[in-house]
Amino acid sequence: MKPSHFSRRHFLAGMPTLAFAANKSPLQARIAITLDLEMSRNFPRWEDTGWDYEKGNLNAETKRYAVEAASRVKERGGRVHCFVVGRALEQEDVQWLKDLHAQGHRIGNHTYDHVNVLARKPEDTQFRFLRSPWLVKGRNAEQVICENIQLCSEAMKTRLGFEPDGFRTPGGFRDGLVDREDIQAMLQKLGFRWVSSKYPRHLAGQPGKPASEAIFDSIVKAQSEAQPFKYSGGLVEIPMSPISDIGAFRAGRWPLDNFLQAIHRAVTWAIERGAVFDLLCHPSVMYPSDPDFRTIDLICDLVQQAGERARLVTLDELATEL
Ligand SMILES: [Zn+2]
C-alpha cells in the first residue's frame, strides 16, 4: 500500500488500519436514500389519524414529493429505493410508479396494509383489521402476515408488471428480526434475499424540545448498530439509519434544522469510516416538514463533496456485498 492512499483525514477519523490492509484502498462509504410510500398519521396535520385505516391512499402531494425527490437524486447520479404498501396499487393512476421504475429507481414490498410482522394476534397486525375483523377471520397472525406480504407482491406484478425489489418491515425493530427466525424463514420462502427491518435504539428526548448535544451524540453512536449484516439463516439485513423523519418530526416534533443537523452528522460519520448510511423517510411526512427537499439535497451534497470516498447506492446493491 502506498502512503498516498492513507489520507490524513481518514487517519484522524480513526479508520481501522485493517480495512486498508484487507482492501488495499480506503473503504468507500455507501449512502442510500429510501422512501416509504404510505400515508402517515399526524401528517400533514397533527389531528390526521384516519390514515391508519388507509395507509395506501396516497395523496397527490405525497406522490409529487416522491417523484421530485427521486429526480433530484438521479440528477446526482444515484437512485432512490422505495417501499410501497400494496394498497396504493388500488389507486386509479399508478403510472408514476412505473415511471420511477423505468428510470432505474427501485421499488420494494412494504406489505399490502402496513402490517406489523412481529404481531402474535391477527387483530394486532393492523388498525384496519381491528375495525374490520371479518377481513382476517379464521386466520392466525402468521397467515395474515404471510398473505399480506404476498398480496403486495401480487399487486405489484399485476398492476406494475414487475416484482418487488426487497422487503421493508412496517415499523423498525431495535434488534431487527434476530429473535424471529420464523419471520426470517417466511421472507426467504416468499423469495426475498434481504430485508430492511432494524432501526437501532437511540436517545429521543422530549417532544417539542430542540435536540440536545446528547441526542445528536446518541444518534451518531447508533450508526455502528445500523450496518448491514447476515442472519444465521442467510437472510441479509440492511438496517435503517437513525434518525428517521418519523423520529424527528412525529416523536420529537423537531424543527427541520435539527433533523438536518442530525443527518449531516450521521452521514459524515459514515463517510469518514467508509460505512453505510440508509436514510428512512416518508414523502407523506417530508412534504409538510421539508417542502424544499433540503434533506435530500444535503445528503447528495455530502456524497458529492466526498468524491471517491462515497457513493449513492440502492439497498439491493448493498445486499449483494454480503
Ligand atoms: Zn411504513
Which residues, including other chains, have CB under 8 Å from residue 160's CB and lie 6 or more apart?
A: 89, 94, 97, 98, 101, 107
Exposed / middle / buried, residue 4 (Cβ in 10 Å: 0-12, 13-18, 19+): exposed
Query: Which has the closest alpha carbon to 238: 172, 148, 142?
Result: 172
Query: How far apart (Å, rounded) are the C-alpha atoms in residues 12 and 15?
Result: 8
Average pLDDT over the chain, rounded to an integer: 93
- Point out the residues of the chain with pLDDT beneath 70: 1-25
- For residue 249, the domain's CATH number is 3.20.20.370
Calculate how far, in angstroms, residue 32's C-alpha sits from the geometric centre of ligand 1: 17
Calculate how far, in angstroms, residue 28's C-alpha sits from the geometric centre of ligand 1: 29
Calculate how far, in angstroms, residue 139's C-alpha sits from the geometric centre of ligand 1: 23
Calculate how far, in angstroms, residue 281's C-alpha sits from the geometric centre of ligand 1: 9
Calculate how far, in angstroms, residue 88's C-alpha sits from the geometric centre of ligand 1: 12
Q: What's the pTM? A: 0.91
Calculate how far, in angstroms, residue 38's C-alpha sits from the geometric centre of ligand 1: 6
pLDDT at 25: 59
What's the total number of domains in the chain?
1
- What is the span of the domain harbouring residue 288? 3-320
DSSP string, 192-204: -SEEEEE------
Calculate how far, in angstroms, residue 30's C-alpha sits from the geometric centre of ligand 1: 23
Q: How far is CA 116 from CA 98, 102, 130, 148, 175, in A?
A: 27, 30, 13, 10, 15
Calculate how far, in angstroms, residue 216's C-alpha sits from the geometric centre of ligand 1: 24
pLDDT at 26: 73
